[in-house]
Chain A
Amino acid sequence: MHSKKAKFVSRNGRALLMLIVVVSACKREQRQFDPPPTTTNPAIVQSELQPGGAPQPQTSTKSPVEENANALSDGKRLFSLYNCTGCHANGGGAIGPALMDETWIYGSDPASIHSTIVEGRPNGMPSFRGKISDYQVWELSAYVRSLSGQLRKDVAPGRSDDMNVHRSEQRVERKTPQQSTIPKAAEQP
């Protein structure tokens, strides 16, 4: 009787342990405090990217931070610290395009946004190559994606501690990304 009970407990204990291991696979809470530095002397690279419907370069690079709440929170802070807000406002767009809508000119996947930040884009978007670390670029691109609800809600940041102009990133509705042609304003004369 007693050993049966012990067996029952140990079997259930093992099941519980398995469950814990499975659940612990989630990356949401990992925190990376010393991301690897970017090379200080980057080679000059020519962009192969085309706006509009042109085929996008096939990158196999996967964002390392899309499931990581801490990185997104950092991304949110960097978004103002690096003055992304200067052109994109709080995601609603000003002289730069809006980031919280469904329209994407240069692709909505993490790798495309990453290269948008690194390479820069015609008509205003500067290149940040060599200016900020690669890890921070990933953090920023993940945050940009969270602005239109592309990320999991339990990872996306909550409201800001200041005047809030839109719903927090964890509460925005997910917008289906649509590839846009080049905007009129950005066309060459």
Chain B
Amino acid sequence: MTEITGTAGVPPASRNASTEVTAKPSNSAFHEVGRDGRDPSEDEREIKELERVWACPPGIYGWFTDTDHKAIALRYVVTAFVFFLFGGIEALLMRIQLARPESHFLSPDLYNQVFTVHGTTMMFLFAVPIMTAVGIYLVPLMVGTRDVAFPRLNNYGYFVYLIGGILLYVSFFLNTGPDAGWFAYVPLSGPGYSPGKRVDIWAQMISFTEISALSGAVVVIGTVFKMRAPGMSLHRLPLFVWAQLVTSFMIIFAMPAVMLASSLLASDRLIDTHFFNPAEGGDAILYQHMFWFFGHPEVYIIFIPALGFVSSIVITFSRRRIFGYTAMVLSLIATAFLGFGLWVHHMFATPLPQLGQSFFTAASMMIAIPSGVQIFCWIATMWGAKLNIKTPLLFVLGFVAIFVLGGLTGVMLASVPLDLQIHDTFFVVAHLHYVLIGGAVFPLFGAFYFWFPKWTGRMLSERLGKWNFWLMFIGFNLVFFPMHQLGLKGMPRRVYTYLPETGWASLNLLASLGALVLGIGVLIFIVNFFWARRFGAVAGPNPWGADTLEWSLTSPPPAYNFQRIPVVEGRNALWDQSTEAPVVVGLSSTKRETLVSSVVDAVPELRYELPGPSIWPLLLALATAETFIVGIFTPWAFLVGAVLTFAVFVGWFFGNPNYENVDAKQPPDETNFASEDLRAEEA
């Protein structure tokens, strides 16, 4: 076991007698020496070694094989943001089309594709991945470890996601964009009414993003449960990490449902199965159930990480500990549980038994409680505090305002009679954008402003940030508030145009002007980004005076994250740090080694060597791509894909197991250290 040493007595994690660790004289230079007592030249040598061991291979090959969670996460963020821009452009196209009645800017067929690709992009290629991406960057830093639990799986997840996104957009530009709505209900999306390969592209793109989300979730859960720094027991976990953990569990339970739905749809379309054909004993409503069993939790999969951003930002900018930590954590978990029990409120317009209607109405209203608890906890945290009003906090305040409105219309939609009246109208469009943009995009932009200094080493401009916020906030409300009214006046969603006599024209024009303002707001963010990359003020390690561990590192953090893994002494790791700042010593600097700790109390258990760069994840992603993309045209692709995947697995698992990381000069007892521990654990 790894020893833990602090100059100031025993660190919290080793107070428990049974976990008292014995010093193993493996690396005598580091034995029993705290941070302050170190020889600076030793320090330098260690850093040099770490830099060499954790370096990414050079060139394009390095780009494809790198396993550094920070590099992968930033790629994820940038890719997802590019998709966000694509989705935004599609939104603007729709708003131009709807700005006046009987417009012929887009043809009805193109309009169908545009709104479907817009919804699909925003939900599957932007919202879910970018939340996971921010988590993949920050979770290892916040829990104090050197990389994520399964670095290669992480890399694989990114490539699968990228290929899925490219598939959707290449086919969109080839006039093969899906056109049956982002939830692709049968029978409209079935073989009878969606000819061609448009819906197949949608179905397989879903498979890509789901696989990628599942990989991300497994990576996050593994990291949070087993790789926390000593002292960071579960009740000291930052709320951000809690949010990511809860989301990851939701992903694992929700995503298989939609993958099943989309796969069954694809097989109905390609090989004549009858899952959704009532005439042959199938069930079209089954599709809706399977989709929304995923689809509703997905809203929370998008929203809960955003709650994590909000908590981090509120704590930092109120310069206070969070009010009601336990209540916050329990609300997160309650939201996750309840989130699985209310999917049917999307289907109130289908024939449901009375009991079902009442149950799902009650469940939908109940979920307002944990959300309310969190809102009140944040308000209590900020209440009377000397708020440091910077752009991230502005976005959080905007989030609270918008999200409360979205929540109120949510409660309205949860009641069956009202829902039947406004089902499939613009009211629903307004509601879903209030909760998703209010609940996820605003906190996300806050998070961008908050963590941009950590990611790049430079600060985004506050001045541009304020412009960005106010334009987005005003623009957003201008676009989506009139839509409530339009919905109540009866304007259905997904119509490509309307007649002047309907009286919807002026509100639609207002919404379109709002879309322009919102678009300019996002544009200012992009300008700010490029400005800050070049001219932004240099950030330093902790520009905001925040409390979590990532702020103890340089900005951007080194490839190995922590030269020495810290010992956590309180819930707000940096604020609670004693002056001695105890650290873990004894981890090897000559290989990619990190600490594995127990699930609940984060008691160190063993040293573990993480796998390094490898080409196999990319090859596996390509094998997956072959399976799903060729599978659109012939079922034989799955057979070929199975063989390819198996071959890649053989290479991945039985090929060269990461020997490139091991330093040959290392004494044998040092290199075998981790495996010895493993054997001890098994015994």
Residues of A within 8 A of B (CB): 5, 20, 23-24, 26, 28-31, 33, 69-70, 72-73, 153-154, 157-164, 167-168, 170-171
A159 x B272 contact (CB < 8 A) = yes
Determine the residue in chain A with the shortest Cβ distance to B186.
A161
A164 x B280 contact (CB < 8 A) = yes
A160 x B197 contact (CB < 8 A) = no
Interfacial chain A residues near B268, Cβ < 8 Å: 158-159
Interfacial chain A residues near B173, Cβ < 8 Å: 20, 24
The distance in angstroms between the C-alpha atoms of A20 and B166, with both chains bound, is: 12
Interfacial chain A residues near B196, Cβ < 8 Å: 28-29, 69-70
Q: Which label, helix, strand, loop or mixed, suits the secondary structure of the A interface? A: loop
Interfacial chain B residues near A31, Cβ < 8 Å: 109
The distance in angstroms between the C-alpha atoms of A29 and B594, with both chains bound, is: 52
A168 x B197 contact (CB < 8 A) = no
Determine the residue in chain B with the shortest Cβ distance to A158.
B191
The distance in angstroms between the C-alpha atoms of A11 and B269, with both chains bound, is: 38
The distance in angstroms between the C-alpha atoms of A153 and B632, with both chains bound, is: 11
The distance in angstroms between the C-alpha atoms of A16 and B61, with both chains bound, is: 20
Within the complex, the shortest CB–CB distance from B424 to chain A, in Å, comes to: 21
10 new A-B contacts at CB < 8 Å, known A73-B192, A158-B270: A20-B170, A28-B176, A69-B197, A72-B195, A159-B272, A159-B277, A160-B191, A161-B190, A161-B277, A170-B270
The 6 closest A-B pairs by CB, nearest first: A158-B191, A73-B195, A69-B196, A69-B195, A162-B279, A159-B272
Interfacial chain A residues near B198, Cβ < 8 Å: 29
The residue from A29, A153, A158, A160 contacting B176, defined by CB atoms under 8 A apart:
A29
Within the complex, the shortest CB–CB distance from A65 to chain B, in Å, comes to: 12
Determine the residue in chain A with the shortest Cβ distance to B632.
A154
Does chain A have a CB within 8 A of B187?
yes
* A163-B279 in contact given A33-B109, A69-B196 (Cβ < 8 Å): yes
A160 x B192 contact (CB < 8 A) = yes
Determine the residue in chain A with the shortest Cβ distance to B112.
A31
Within the complex, the shortest CB–CB distance from B274 to chain A, in Å, comes to: 7
The distance in angstroms between the C-alpha atoms of A43 and B191, with both chains bound, is: 39
The residue from A23, A73, A167 contacting B272, defined by CB atoms under 8 A apart:
A167
Interfacial chain B residues near A26, Cβ < 8 Å: 174
B274 x A159 contact (CB < 8 A) = yes
The distance in angstroms between the C-alpha atoms of A3 and B268, with both chains bound, is: 49
Within the complex, the shortest CB–CB distance from B497 to chain A, in Å, comes to: 14
The distance in angstroms between the C-alpha atoms of A163 and B277, with both chains bound, is: 9
Interfacial chain A residues near B108, Cβ < 8 Å: 33
Interfacial chain A residues near B634, Cβ < 8 Å: 153
The distance in angstroms between the C-alpha atoms of A175 and B268, with both chains bound, is: 24
Determine the residue in chain B with the shortest Cβ distance to A23.
B174
Within the complex, the shortest CB–CB distance from A71 to chain B, in Å, comes to: 8
Residues of B in contact with A, size category: 20 to 34
Interfacial chain A residues near B280, Cβ < 8 Å: 163-164
Complex interface residues of chain B between 104 and 126 (CB less than 8 A to chain A): 107-109
* A20-B174 in contact given A154-B633, A164-B280 (Cβ < 8 Å): yes
B191 x A168 contact (CB < 8 A) = yes
The distance in angstroms between the C-alpha atoms of A127 and B268, with both chains bound, is: 36
Does chain A have a CB within 8 A of B175?
yes
Interfacial chain B residues near A73, Cβ < 8 Å: 192-193, 195
Within the complex, the shortest CB–CB distance from A2 to chain B, in Å, comes to: 12
Determine the residue in chain B with the shortest Cβ distance to A160.
B192
Determine the residue in chain B with the shortest Cβ distance to A152.
B633
Interfacial chain A residues near B17, Cβ < 8 Å: none
Does chain A have a CB within 8 A of B271?
yes
A159 x B191 contact (CB < 8 A) = yes
Q: Which of B176, B191, B197 has the most CB of A within 10 A?
A: B191
The distance in angstroms between the C-alpha atoms of A160 and B170, with both chains bound, is: 29
B195 x A157 contact (CB < 8 A) = yes
The distance in angstroms between the C-alpha atoms of A33 and B269, with both chains bound, is: 23
Interfacial chain A residues near B633, Cβ < 8 Å: 153-154
Complex interface residues of chain B between 252 and 303 (CB less than 8 A to chain A): 268-272, 274, 277-280
Interfacial chain A residues near B170, Cβ < 8 Å: 20
B187 x A161 contact (CB < 8 A) = yes
Within the complex, the shortest CB–CB distance from A60 to chain B, in Å, comes to: 28
Within the complex, the shortest CB–CB distance from A33 to chain B, in Å, comes to: 7
Interfacial chain B residues near A164, Cβ < 8 Å: 272, 274, 277, 280
* A24-B174 in contact given A162-B279, A163-B279, A171-B271 (Cβ < 8 Å): yes
B195 x A70 contact (CB < 8 A) = yes
Interfacial chain B residues near A28, Cβ < 8 Å: 176, 196-197
Scan B146-186; emit 1 where CB is below 8 A from any A CB, else 0.
00000000000000000000000010011110000000000
